[in-house]
Amino acid sequence: EWNNVEETTVEGMESSWQTNTLGLLVASQQVIPAMKTKEAGSIVVIGATASLRGGANSAGFASAKASQRSLAQSMARHLGPMGIHVSYVIIDGIIDLERTRAARPDIPDEYYLQPDDIAQSVFDLTGQHRSAWTFELDLRPFGEKW
C-alpha cells in the first residue's frame, strides 16, 4: 500500500503484510523440512530499503517489509544451527524492467539495478561457506544516493 498513515486502509495494510510476511512464512514452511533433513539449504528473502526506514507514503509497504525482515532474522537464528542459511537482500534502487523504465523515463541508466546482477548476487549468497554467512546484503546501483 503506497499511502500515508492517514490514507492507508486496513485492507491495504493486510494485503501488504500477507504478501510480504505471511508469504515468507508459508513458503518457508514448505521447504524447511527437506532442508532440515539434509542439514543444508538457503532461503534468500528479497527485501527493500523500506524495511529499514519508512517513507511518508509507504505506511503499508514499509511496515510489511520491516515485519518481513524481522521474520527473516528470527528464521536465521532458528535455522542457522541446523545448517540452513537465511539471508535478506535489501534492494535499494529501481530494478531495470520495461514497466519501471516506462514509469520513470527520466532516470539515467546508472540508477537502475540490472536483474541479472541481482540474480548473480543472490546465487553467490547460496554458495557461501557456513563460516562466513551473510545475513543482510544491500544491493544498489552505483548512481543511487544513500
- Per-domain residue ranges for the chain? 10-139
Q: Which CATH class is domain 10-139?
A: alpha beta
CA distances from 143 to 11, 94, 97, 139, 146 (A): 36, 11, 17, 12, 9
Question: How many residues are present in the chain?
Answer: 146
pTM, two decimal places: 0.93
- pLDDT digit string (tens) for 9-36? 999 999 999 999 999 999 999 999 999 9
Please state the rounded mean pLDDT for residues 81-105: 97
